[in-house]
Amino acid sequence: MTLDASLKCKFRMKAIYLWSVHDFMAYGDFAGWSTHGRLACPCGYGCRGFQLRNGHKACWFDCHRRFLPIDHEFRKQANAFRKNTKVFDEPPRRLTGEEVQAHLNRFLGDTETYGRLHNWTHLLCFRSLPYFPKLLLPHNIDLMHNEKNMAEAVWNTCFDTDKTKDNVKAWLDLALICNRPSLHLVEKNNGKWDRPRAPFCIDKNDKATILQWFQELKFPDAYAANIRRGVNLLQRKIFGLKSHDYHIFIERLLPVAFRGFLQDNIWRCLAELSFFYRQICDKELRKDVVRSLEDNVAVLLCKLEKIFPPGFFNVMQHLIIHVPYEARLGGPVLACLSYPYER
C-alpha cells in the first residue's frame, strides 16, 4: 500500500521486472549462469571459447567469422586467423525464454556436464515469475565495464605496459594457433629468445610524444576528469584512470592520440572501434543505425583478430558482438549503463 500525496489516499503499488543492470561478474550471480570458463558468454550454447595452452585462460579468438554473411571473404581466408582454417558455420541461434527454461530444467545440478554442455549454477528467484520466459532481454551486458575493459586492453597492449595482452605466453600461443611467422620468437646464438616488435606496439619515442599531448589536454567543465594529472613521462604511463576516463579515451581521444604512430590499417580499425562505441552510446538511436551496427560488428571484431594475438580476446572482447542486438531490444544504452546507479 502506497500513499498518493496529491490525492491524499492509498493505492496498491505493483512492480514488474524488466531487466537487470550490473557488471559481468554479477551477471553470473544474478542469471545463474557462471561467467567463468569456456562457456562464460551467455551465448555459450552456440559460440564456445577454448582454453589457451600457455595462457591458461578462456579465449574467443576466431569465434566471430561465423557471424559474417555466408559469402564474406574473411570466411575463406585460411591463414589470416587460425592456421589452415576456413569457417562456413552459421551463427548460433538465439534461444527463446522457453528453450532456456527447458535447458535449465535439464542441466541444473548435472555436475558431469557442467563446463562442457552448460554453465548453470543455481536457479534465479525471478524465474518463478510467470512472465519471465517471455522477456526478450532479462539481463543486460553492462557497456560501462565492457568499454572500460576494451579501452584498457587496447591502451596497455599498444603501449606495451606491464599489463599488456601481448606477453610471453601470448607469443607462445600465437605460434601454436596462428600463421604469423614474423611475430614468432627467434632463438639467438647465446641461447636467448628474441621477438620482433609487433606492428600494433607504439615506438618508445612516440610514447613520449603521445603522453606529452595528454599532459596538454584541457576539457570543458564537467566533461571529463583531469587526465593529465596521472601522466608519468619517466615511466611512460598514465595512472589513476577510472571507467569514465576510459570512456572518454576510447570514444574521443583514441583516434587522435594514435594517428600517425601506427600503421594505417591498424589505426583505421581502432578508429572504427572508437566510432562503434560512440554510436552505440548516443542519446538517441535510430533503427537503421542499430541494424548497421549489428551487421558490421562481426567485421570489426574479425579485423581486430587479424591484428592482435589470441590472448587479447577474452570474454569482454567477445561480448561486443551482442551489444547492438541488446540496444535494438532495450533502446538507448543510457538506461542500461552502471554510471547512474554507481553514481
Average pLDDT for consecutive 10-residue bins of the chain (343 residues)? Answer: 94 92 88 89 77 92 93 93 92 88 88 87 90 91 92 94 90 92 80 83 93 91 87 90 93 94 96 96 92 94 95 93 92 85 82
Q: For residue 187, give the 3-state DSSP assignment.
A: strand
Q: CA angle, corner 306, sides to 174 and 196, nearest 5?
A: 50
Same domain, 205 and 119: no
Same domain, 102 and 193: no
Same domain, 79 and 168: yes
Same domain, 215 and 128: no
Same domain, 194 and 296: yes
- CA gap 293, 296 in Å, rounded: 5
Same domain, 200 and 312: yes
**338 inside domain:** yes
Residue ranges making up the domain that contains 37: 22-47+96-139
**228 inside domain:** yes
pLDDT at res. 44: 66
Same domain, 106 and 187: no
pLDDT at res. 30: 87
What share of residues in the chain are helix, strand, coil (percent, to 5)?
45, 5, 50
- CA gap 132, 42 in Å, rounded: 17
**187 inside domain:** yes
In contact, 142 and 19? CB cutoff 8 Å: no
Same domain, 72 and 121: no
Task: Domain count for the chain, please give it.
Answer: 2
Same domain, 87 and 202: yes
The grid cell for 90 is 552459421
Rounded to two decimals, the pTM is: 0.91
Same domain, 175 and 126: no
Same domain, 132 and 249: no
